């Protein structure tokens, strides 16, 4: 019964996502994608090959790395804290609604919609400029969303300014891992507790449709999934109000 | 139906400063009852309501609704809730907001449009339904909040300052709506600063101050209470006969008298005699309501 209500409510969650997030991402992406797309179109068809090492490949790698990061960061933040800050949860959770299911579904809607959005942008690039591995890019977006979104979701369940915390945590993790690599011994093992930015970076070949190590996928997805599980536990056991 | 057992709530800041919002609060609300909650600003009313909805947890004690912890009850059954501050995303349209809340209340897809139309009509929002929430006046926003609460087919209703911002016409209509909420299986909690409203609508009123339950007042006047009540009697003609019949009456001018310490039965008998003698009585009411008196005593500092 409650499940059916929530599934029906999903269309409103999607509607909010499109209005509050997608428009902004599409505008920024259009600005970002326009120049590389035009540059690729100006090349002879034989040179329009997106592969590691190709002249266009380097451009496309930067383009899609930036695009995916921007889309994932913008679309995954404040999923819970926005409701809490605005007090919007009050009427919603006075209904027969389980907050864990509600926020879990909201996260899923954001994940799927972000992947579809990046797929759309990649498809447009493929049609207009040069063919890219849309499926692989979609997979990379999903994995990146699970990690960034998961950490953001966790922060969002416990604090208001989760966006700043997420960006800070990723920065600290990247620097921490670099520093730990220089020390050896126990330090790199300890650095494994930090957000797996190195494993995420290792997934970049997916942009060209190239294979990646399953262990990198497992690290990124596993870390993100653990953060999502902790966030949902926070929603269950922490107070709904501040 | 609803039970608070020795409930306390203490807020502690990051710096370790503690504020007791609710202290050792115990009270039961039966099914079929309309309970008012009154208290000065900061008395703890909103904290009590937030705990009753499971939005915050008590520091000590326990709350049960229908025999379950509040959050479990709300997730299973839903509650008709109107908050003091209406927090709806400002971008949403009024009828869109009602549609969303109706979906969460379990209104089937086939009846969704009709349900929203009925809510809009009941709360007089026809000309405002297409407006965004941010474009609504305080009173209209309050009516949207009320509409979403009333759409919930719940056995528990919690209405926090429901007439805040409403004009006199809608204040009166709201009172009729709350009267219509009475059901043998339903408990209604109404928090308000308006003692007159609470006295009209509620069976009992819990007066809280400093987070503690000061007293619970039954709003139905009984014969026992009448001797302590001062009545205000207004007459259109025959004022001199009233003065003669009630030597202690204080004339207030324009045919108005205050009668203190009069037994209600004696007052009725004497007035009946006066009316037979040609005195035209236009009104009789307590000069100060029992609730108002109790409230003043309870929160006196």
Q: Can you list the domains of chain B with their CATH numbers? A: 2-218 (3.40.50.300), 229-300 (3.30.70)
Q: Provide the pLDDT for residue B222.
A: 52
Whether A240 has its CB under 8 Å from any CB of chain B: the answer is yes
* Rounded CA separation B14/A165 (Å): 18
User: How many other C-beta atoms lie within 10 A of the C-beta of residue A104?
Assistant: 17
Interface of A with B in 86-105 (CB under 8 A): 86-98
The more confident residue out of A113 and A191 is: A113
Mean pLDDT of A124-139: 88
* Rounded CA separation B14/B18 (Å): 10
- Closest-CA distance, A105 to chain B, in angstroms, reads 14
Strands (E), chain B: 2-12, 18-29, 34-38, 60-65, 80-82, 156-160, 187-191, 204-209, 212-218, 231-237, 250-253, 256-259, 280-286
In sequence order, the β-bridge partners of residue B62 are B5
**Residues of chain A with C-beta less than 8 angstroms from the C-beta of B158:** 94
**What's the pTM?**
0.83
* Rounded CA separation B243/B250 (Å): 8
* Rounded CA separation B222/B288 (Å): 15
Which tokens sit at B89? Answer: 């995303």
Mean pLDDT of A172-193: 82
* Rounded CA separation B184/B9 (Å): 31
Find which of A2, A94, A103, A240 to mutate to test the B interface (most B CBs within 10 Å of its CB).
A94
**Count, residues in chain A:** 242
* Rounded CA separation A31/B40 (Å): 56
Whether A241 has its CB under 8 Å from any CB of chain B: the answer is yes
**Residues of chain B with C-beta less than 8 angstroms from the C-beta of A92:** 101, 104
Q: Provide the pLDDT for residue B134.
A: 92
Asked whether the predicted pLDDT for residue A179 surpasses 60, the reply is: yes
Nearest to A72 by CA among A30, A6, A133, A117: A117
Q: Which residues of B105-136 are buried (b: 16+ CB within 10 A; e: fewer)?
A: bbbeeeeeeebbebbbeebebeebbebebeeb
Give per-residue pLDDT as tens, B204-259: 999 998 888 888 888 865 555 544 567 888 999 888 888 888 888 888 888 888 88
* Rounded CA separation B162/B200 (Å): 14
In sequence order, the β-bridge partners of residue B4 are B27, B63
CA B18, B24, B29 angle in degrees (round to 5)?
A: 130
Q: Which of B56, B57, B81 sits opposite A94 (nearest CB)?
A: B81
Interface of A with B in 142-171 (CB under 8 A): none
Residues of chain B with pLDDT under 70: 220-229, 288, 301
The count of CB pairs under 8 A between chains A and B is: 81
DSSP code of residue A159: -
Q: Would you give the distance in Å from CA B277 to the centre of its chain?
A: 41
Q: Residue B131 in 3-state DSSP?
A: coil
Whether A18 has its CB under 8 Å from any CB of chain B: the answer is no
Find which of A96, A97, A158, A238 to mutate to test the B interface (most B CBs within 10 Å of its CB).
A96
CA B160, B163, B164 angle in degrees (round to 5)?
A: 80
Give per-residue pLDDT as tens, A64-98: 888 898 888 888 888 888 888 888 999 999 999 99
Give per-residue pLDDT as tens, A13-44: 999 999 988 888 888 888 888 888 887 778 77
CB B211 within 8 A of CB B22: yes
Cβ separation of A92 and B104 shorter than 8 Å? yes
- Closest-CA distance, B56 to chain A, in angstroms, reads 5
CB B150 within 8 A of CB B119: yes
Q: Provide the pLDDT for residue B50.
A: 92
* B-chain residue closest to A99, CA distance: B75
- Closest-CA distance, A90 to chain B, in angstroms, reads 7
Q: Which of A8, A9, A95 sits opposite B78 (nearest CB)?
A: A95
Burial class from Cβ neighbours inside 10 Å (0-12, 13-18, 19+) for residue A182 reads exposed
* Rounded CA separation B242/B271 (Å): 8
Residue pointed to by tokens 């109706």: B102
Q: How confident is the model at residue A1 (pLDDT cuts 50, 70, 90)?
A: low
CB B129 within 8 A of CB B160: no
HSE, side-chain direction, 13 A CA sphere, residue B121: 6
Mean pLDDT of A38-53: 75
User: How many other C-beta atoms lie within 10 A of the C-beta of residue A78?
Assistant: 19
Nearest to B101 by CA among B156, B148, B44: B148
HSE, side-chain direction, 13 A CA sphere, residue B296: 5
Poorest-pLDDT segment among A99-108, A132-141, A233-242: A233-242
Cβ separation of B87 and A88 shorter than 8 Å? yes
Cβ separation of A88 and B89 shorter than 8 Å? yes
**Residues of chain B with C-beta less than 8 angstroms from the C-beta of A241:** 50, 55-56
- Closest-CA distance, B173 to chain A, in angstroms, reads 22
Cβ separation of B91 and A19 shorter than 8 Å? yes
Find which of B103, B119, B142, B189 to mutate to test the A interface (most A CBs within 10 Å of its CB).
B103
Sheet harboring B2-12: ordered strands across?
A: B18-29, B2-12, B60-65
* Rounded CA separation B71/B115 (Å): 26
Mean pLDDT for all residues in chain A: 86
Asked whether the predicted pLDDT for residue A51 surpasses 80, the reply is: no
Cβ separation of B50 and A1 shorter than 8 Å? no
Dump the DSSP string for A9-43: HHHHHHHHHIIIIIHHHHHHHHHHHHHHHHHHHTS
Q: Would you give the distance in Å from CA A59 to the centre of its chain?
A: 21
CA dihedral A7→A11→A12→A17, nearest 10 degrees, is 120
Asked whether the predicted pLDDT for residue A5 surpasses 90, the reply is: no
Nearest to B25 by CA among B154, B210, B190: B210
Which tokens sit at B96? Answer: 């869109």
Sheet harboring B204-209: ordered strands across?
A: B80-82, B156-160, B187-191, B34-38, B204-209, B212-218
* B-chain residue closest to A13, CA distance: B100
The set of residues, in sequence order, having a beta carbon less than 8 Å from that of A58 and lying 6+ positions away, is: none
* Rounded CA separation B246/A141 (Å): 87
């Amino acid at each position: 019964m409650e499940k059916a209500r929530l599934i029906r409510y999903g269309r409103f969650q999607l509607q909010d996502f499109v209005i509050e997030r997608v428009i902004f991402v599409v505008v920024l992406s259009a600005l970002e994608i326009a120049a590389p797309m035009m540059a690729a179109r100006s090349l002879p068809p034989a040179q329009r090959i997106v592969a590691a090492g190709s002249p266009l490949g380097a451009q496309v790698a930067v383009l899609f790395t930036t695009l995916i990061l921007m889309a994932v960061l913008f679309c995954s933040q404040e999923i819970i804290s926005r409701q809490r800050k605005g007090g919007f949860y009050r009427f919603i959770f006075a209904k027969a609604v389980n907050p864990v299911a509600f926020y879990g579904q909201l996260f899923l809607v954001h994940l799927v919609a972000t992947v579809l959005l990046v797929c759309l942008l990649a498809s447009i690039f493929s049609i207009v400029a040069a063919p890219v591995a849309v499926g692989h890019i979609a997979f990379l977006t999903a994995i990146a969303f699970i990690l960034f979104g998961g950490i953001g979701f966790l922060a969002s369940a416990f604090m208001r300014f989760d966006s700043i915390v997420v960006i800070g945590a990723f920065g600290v993790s990247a620097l921490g891992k670099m520093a730990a690599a220089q020390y050896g011994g126990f330090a790199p093992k300890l650095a494994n507790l930090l957000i797996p930015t190195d494993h995420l970076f290792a997934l970049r070949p997916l942009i060209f449709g190239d294979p990646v190590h399953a262990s990198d996928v497992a690290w990124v997805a596993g870390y993100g999934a653990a953060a999502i599980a902790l966030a949902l536990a926070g929603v269950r056991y922490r107070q709904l109000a501040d | 139906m609803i039970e608070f057992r020795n409930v306390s709530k203490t807020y502690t800041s990051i710096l370790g400063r503690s504020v007791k919002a609710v202290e050792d609060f115990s009270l039961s609300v039966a099914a079929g009852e309309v309970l008012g909650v009154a208290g000065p600003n900061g008395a703890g009313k909103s904290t009590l309501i937030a705990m009753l909805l499971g939005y915050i947890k008590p520091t000590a004690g326990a709350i049960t609704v229908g025999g379950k912890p509040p959050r479990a009850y709300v997730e299973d059954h839903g509650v008709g809730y109107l908050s003091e501050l209406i927090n709806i995303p400002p971008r949403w349209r009024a009828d869109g907001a009602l549609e969303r809340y109706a979906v969460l209340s379990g209104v089937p897809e086939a009846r969704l449009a009709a349900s929203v139309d009925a809510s809009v009509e009941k709360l007089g929002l026809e000309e405002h339904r297409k407006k965004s929430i941010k474009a609504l006046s305080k009173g209209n926003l309050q009516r949207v909040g009320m509409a979403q609460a009333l759409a919930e087919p719940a056995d528990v209703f919690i209405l926090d300052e429901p007439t805040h911002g409403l004009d006199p016409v809608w204040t009166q209509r709201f009172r009729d709506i709350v009267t219509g909420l009475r059901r043998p299986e339903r408990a209604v909690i109404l928090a308000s600063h308006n003692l007159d409203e609470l006295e009209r609508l509620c069976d009992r009123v819990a007066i809280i101050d400093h987070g503690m339950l000061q007293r619970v007042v039954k709003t139905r006047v009984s014969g026992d209470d009448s001797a302590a009540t001062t009545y205000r009697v207004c007459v259109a003609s025959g004022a001199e006969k009233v003065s003669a019949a009630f030597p202690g009456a204080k004339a207030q001018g324009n045919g108005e008298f205050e009668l203190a310490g009069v037994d209600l039965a004696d007052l009725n008998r004497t007035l009946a005699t006066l009316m037979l003698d040609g005195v035209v009585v236009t009104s009789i009411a307590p000069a100060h309501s029992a609730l108002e008196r109790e409230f003043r005593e309870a929160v006196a500092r």
